[in-house]
Chain A
């Protein structure tokens, strides 16, 4: 107990200080009161100091209490089951990093399971055990992708803690208003004050929260201060209208088309084009319609494209960017933007009453196909049009890896995002069955977790084929890692046959069989671990699908 905090009983004030001073200078130069100078002086000084030291220590009293911290807000969620709490401690003990760079062997990568564990715990609505919060915050500090789920699980006490430890300041930033609750919808005065006086992050959070609750109220709030906001802020605020976008937003967005900032104008145009009934969408439809037609004079009907010759002020006002990026012709650049912003619903009428499938199947004259189809892909994603996405994706088993319309894997992944999760899984399963795993990683990334049964089967079968083909498992480490995290745990039973080390074929890579067995063992172990994790968190397991 140091210095100021403690007041030892001191009957002879200053006696101790005298002793310290004499000891520092040496008894040759100075002796404290009561000690006679001479050869015995050091021993006498030490005698006196020993008495003082023990007396000072024996007389220690508690210090005056500082102002106690305000108690952390109550966490009303039910406590974590004991087994789940142990599991969490184990997952967190795996920090930091993984394995130290070595081969992973058959043991699961625990840290990789933490996101899933947190998601499940959050879905079940459990409260975090308080004593793990420091480890949890440290983990989230190192991995930004963990933060939202970790902070949700950590709950109000983590925000309380973060105020006391600067290392965890990120938790305050991530929580709107540093954890102070947003005003309730009825509290209009507080809302207005926070909107006018709050920090930028607080205002964005406020707007997003209101938008999620009551879209019109958020728009009206934004309109009150729109004219005085800075351009960067206007852009961010406008972006939050994406949530709950509807026809009611059109007048406000139309007005934003005349904004001083080009980025704001472009965003407003993009939002309007996602509203098929907006005036902007209609104007774009007229422009794009003038560029695309079906040529019936040929033997087989074909789509002909006549790209715009100029970008007029009307187009520019509607968000068309006049200057193309380097390497692109300006006419095709303008054309792409027009088609992208045109409601997909106008094309069947414009192109002879055909369905999206039939339209996509039409040949396109003069090398315009990739430009036109790419623009339709962007439109389908923006307008979340599943019928067009389906048409553009084509059949997953189509011979040219990619189907008729979609150009790149990235575009296909985005198109898949517009489909329902079952349809998505089925399409990717079909794709893998035909094309294997080498291009599947990105597509698997958009599938819902845990993978639906047909998709899981397709992945396991494809891994099995890859093994039999004699390649090394690390060529598939990305998919393997995904499978560990995303396969339905009930699929573990079907992997049993793959755990043994197979006989080495003639054209197999040396030792590959052993590595594959190891990789499958890790996969199975991880799946079992995930099943255990789920069970500990009270998730009821469905009986696994029997057989392949």
Chain B
């Protein structure tokens, strides 16, 4: 494996930042000034000393060779992860103007990388990912699972009752009932160990204040929640795939025990969503040989970036294993054979009608699905009244953009990239519309992240 000459772009580095403040602070440190004794190796270790406000400079070291995204270590007290020093050093390295020359790893940096790689090695030899280590007694595990199922069943039954009460009295009353009722019900579902139900219930609470057309959306979501309850209560009678889907939608995630698929996985998109407690990171991968699309999910406590970070446009040679459930895209990253490196490949695309049909077909396996990942080929971002759509360059079909996508700055990057000409766009296509995540110009050019 050689990393020679492969440097990331500033955008790719800045994508690692946990928040906007770190991004700014990091880009300020992306200059030679405060750095000394910086260097890098072809094996993917980057290190440097950064002068801070104190007398002793901070020691920053980064291991970019890890396919799960770079690992960082810095002697600064910041709780941001990666800290501004790590970002600054990576920017300096990405800038490639000789400020981070190849060199011999100093002892303090080597200790850390050695320790890290050894731990990773130990973990790999200890057991394949997925086989839960230390679960101990299988009989005890079975009893635990049974107890949980009983609780979930009680929760689902209670939720059915609440939905029935709501429909008996009418949704019009829900507007006055407000948020409190739903929060309380959501808490009951957490008690019932059904986090999937709890999350859906909490979302119901926000719908009555979501603007015109809310009764339709509220009925849709109530009906799908009812469908999920019923799916759980009758899971024994469902086909295996659908039963697994129901379990995963309820919040029983299961292990990623699908057969590992080795491929060159292109990072299509990475974006974070955050609520008060949790940052969720979604990374879409596309397998260059298998043609599969996979979703990596990772989590971080609020204010901290989830640990795994894979900048758009890189590809990694790795194994990926699917989580159970029909129509589920989620997968886990298994063994990695080479560090992520920039590549020029692009996923093949389809016209808008095929994209819409894909979503429809995917609902057969998972009726709760909000969207599917799709790459659109040769579409033109087109203004449509107050909104935007992606229109086929030939023919007269178009997919409207989702409301969320309309207010993002990425929309304007997409429009600018297109300039009225067709572009290739990867995104999520669903009942709310199309959410563009990454775009490629028709001619030569890098992937442009839109999220």
Residues of A within 8 A of B (CB): 1-3, 5-6, 19-20, 23-29, 41-43, 45-47, 49-50, 52-54, 56-72, 83, 86-87, 89-90, 93-94, 99, 105-108, 110, 130-134, 157, 160-161, 164-165, 521-522, 524-525, 528-529, 532, 535
A1 in contact with B419 (CB, 8 Å): no
| Contact residue among A45, A47, A93, A106 (Cβ-Cβ distance under 8 Å from B34) | A106
**In B230-258, which residues have CB < 8 Å from any A CB?**
none
Q: Mask for B427-441, Cβ within 8 A of A = 1, else 0? A: 000111100000001
**Nearest CB of A to B444, in Å:** 9
Question: Is B399 a contact of A62 with CB atoms below 8 Å?
Answer: yes
Whether the pair A63, B389 counts as a contact (CB closer than 8 A) is yes
Given contacts A46-B226, A130-B419, contact A86 B173 (CB under 8 A): no
B367 touches A54 (CB 8 A): yes
Residues on the B chain within 8 Å of A165, using CB: 412
Determine whether the beta carbon of B382 is less than 8 Å from that of A94: no
Closest Cβ of chain A to B320, distance in Å, is: 28
Question: Given contacts A64-B396, A131-B448, A134-B409, are A57 and B431 in contact (CB under 8 A)?
Answer: yes
Q: Verify A64–B397 contact, CB threshold 8 A.
A: yes
B301 at the interface (CB under 8 A from A): no
Contact A53 B220 (CB under 8 A): yes
Closest approach, in angstroms, between the C-beta of B442 and any C-beta of chain A?
11
Indicate whether B216 reaches chain A with its CB closer than 8 angstroms.
yes
The answer to whether B172 and A25 touch across the interface, beta carbons within 8 angstroms, is: yes
B138 within 8 A of A: no
Query: A131–B441 Cα gap in the complex (Å)?
Result: 10
10 contacts between A and B (CB under 8 A): A41-B168, A46-B222, A47-B226, A49-B222, A61-B356, A65-B398, A70-B420, A71-B419, A160-B419, A525-B32
Q: Give B258 Cβ to nearest chain A Cβ, in Å.
A: 25
Contact: B95 with A93, CB < 8 Å? no
Contact status of A66 and B391, CB under 8 A, knowing A105-B34, A157-B416, A528-B32: yes
A58 to B362, CA, bound (A): 8
* A140 → chain B closest CB, angstroms: 14
Residues of A within 8 A of B173 (CB): 26
B27, CB-defined interface residue at 8 Å: yes
| Option from A49, A58, A93, A528 in Cβ contact (under 8 Å) with B10 | A93
In the bound complex, do residue A50 and residue B34 qualify as a contact, i.e. CB atoms below 8 Å apart? no
Whether B399 pairs with A63 at a CB distance below 8 angstroms is yes
Binary per-residue interface labels of chain B (160-197) against chain A in the complex, 1 for a CB within 8 Å, 0 otherwise: 10011111111111000000000000000000000000
Main SS class of interface, A: helix
User: How far, in angstroms, from A43 to B218 measured CA to CA in the complex?
Assistant: 15
From A64, A134, A521, B416 is in contact (CB under 8 Å) with: A134
Given A23-B167, A521-B33, are A57 and B363 also a contact pair (CB < 8 Å)?
yes
Question: Which residues, 378 to 409 on B, are CB-close (under 8 Å) to A?
Answer: 380-385, 389, 391-393, 395-400, 403, 409
State whether the Cβ of B86 lies closer than 8 Å to any Cβ in chain A: no
* Docked CA distance A1–B396 (Å): 16
Question: Contact string, B1-18, partner A, CB cutoff 8 A, digits 1/0?
Answer: 000000001110010000
Chain A residues contacting B95 (CB-CB under 8 Å) are: 83, 86-87, 90, 532
Task: Point out the residue from B165, B168, B420 that lies within 8 Å of A68, measured CB to CB.
Answer: B420
Please give, as numbers and ranges, the residues of chain A lying within 8 Å of B430 by CB-CB distance.
57
Among B96, B167, B392, B415, contact of A161 (Cβ-Cβ < 8 Å): B415
The verdict on B23 contacting chain A, using a C-beta distance below 8 Å, is yes
Provide the residues of chain A in CB contact with B383, threshold 8 Å.
Answer: 66, 69, 164
- Would you call A49 and B382 a contact (CB within 8 A)? no
Which one, A19, A27, A68, A90, contacts B27 given CB within 8 A?
A90
Verify if B262 is at the interface (C-beta below 8 Å from A): no
Is the beta-carbon distance between B27 and A94 smaller than 8 angstroms? yes
Residues of chain A with a CB closer than 8 A to B353's CB: 61-62
| The one of B11, B32, B213, B219 that contacts A49, using a Cβ cutoff of 8 Å | B219
Flag if A28 contacts B384 (CB, 8 Å).
no
Q: Contact: B33 with A108, CB < 8 Å?
A: yes
Do B431 and A1 touch across chains, with their CB atoms under 8 A apart?
Answer: yes
Determine if B32 and A93 form an interchain contact, defined as CB atoms under 8 angstroms apart. Answer: no
Query: Counting CB contacts under 8 A, is B51 at the interface?
Result: yes
Given the interface pairs A60-B431, A66-B384, A86-B10, the reply to whether A45 lies near B391 with Cβ below 8 Å is no
B137: min CB distance to chain A, Å: 40
Contact with A along B409-426 (1 / 0, CB 8 A): 100110111111100000
Asked if B97 is an interface residue, CB under 8 A from chain A, the answer is yes
Give 10 nearest A-B pairs by CB, closest first: A26-B170, A525-B33, A72-B419, A71-B420, A49-B223, A42-B167, A65-B391, A62-B397, A65-B398, A46-B226
Known A63-B398, A99-B28: A68·B380 in contact at CB below 8 Å: yes
**Nearest B residue to A43, CB-CB:** B164
Docked CA distance A286–B94 (Å): 70
Choose from B11, B352, B400 the contact partner of A89 (Cβ within 8 Å).
Answer: B11
Q: A46-B226, A86-B95 given. 9 additional CB < 8 A pairs?
A: A54-B363, A58-B361, A59-B360, A62-B353, A69-B382, A93-B10, A133-B416, A521-B34, A532-B97
Chain B residues with CB under 8 Å of A535's CB are 97
A27 to B97, CA, bound (A): 71
* Structural contact, B382 and A66, CB atoms closer than 8 A: yes
Query: Does B198 count as interface, using CB distance less than 8 angstroms?
Result: no
Q: How far is the CA of A130 from the CA of B413 in the complex (A)?
A: 8
Report A-chain residues with C-beta under 8 Å of the C-beta of B14.
Answer: 93
B31 pairs with A89, CB closer than 8 A? no
Q: Which residue of A lies closest to B14 (CB)?
A: A93
What residues on A are CB-neighbors of B413 within 8 Å?
Answer: 131, 134
B367 close to A2 (CB less than 8 A): no
> How many angstroms between the C-alpha atoms of A46 and B172 in the bound complex?
16
Instruction: Check A45–B167 contact: CB distance below 8 A.
Output: yes
**Interface pair B94/A65, CB less than 8 Å apart:** no
- Chain B residues lying within 8 Å of A43, measured Cβ to Cβ, are 160, 164, 226
User: Digit string of B207-218 for contact with A (CB within 8 Å is 1, else 0)?
Assistant: 000000101101
Q: How far is the CB of B171 from chain A (nearest CB, A)?
A: 5
Q: Is there an interface contact between B222 and A131, defined as CB atoms closer than 8 Å?
A: no
Quick check: is B91 within 8 A (CB to CB) of the other chain? Answer: yes
Contact B31 A108 (CB under 8 A): yes
Given contacts A1-B400, A93-B23, contact A107 B31 (CB under 8 A): yes
Closest partner residue, chain B, to A134 (CB atom): B412
Contact A24 B171 (CB under 8 A): yes
A535 to B352, CA, bound (A): 44
Chain A residues, CB < 8 A from B314: none
B residues 43-64 near A (Cβ < 8 Å) are: 51
Closest Cβ–Cβ distance, residue A420 to chain B (whole Å): 34
For A24, the chain B residues whose CB sits under 8 A away are 170-172, 215
Closest to B91 in A: A90
Whether B33 lies near A27 (C-beta < 8 A) is no
Asked if B30 lies at the interface with its beta carbon under 8 angstroms from chain A, I say yes
**Interchain CA distance A65-B222 in the complex, whole Å:** 32
Please, which residues of chain B bring their CB within 8 A of the CB of A107? 28-29, 31, 33-34
Neighbour of A65 across the interface among B361, B363, B367, B389, CB < 8 A:
B389
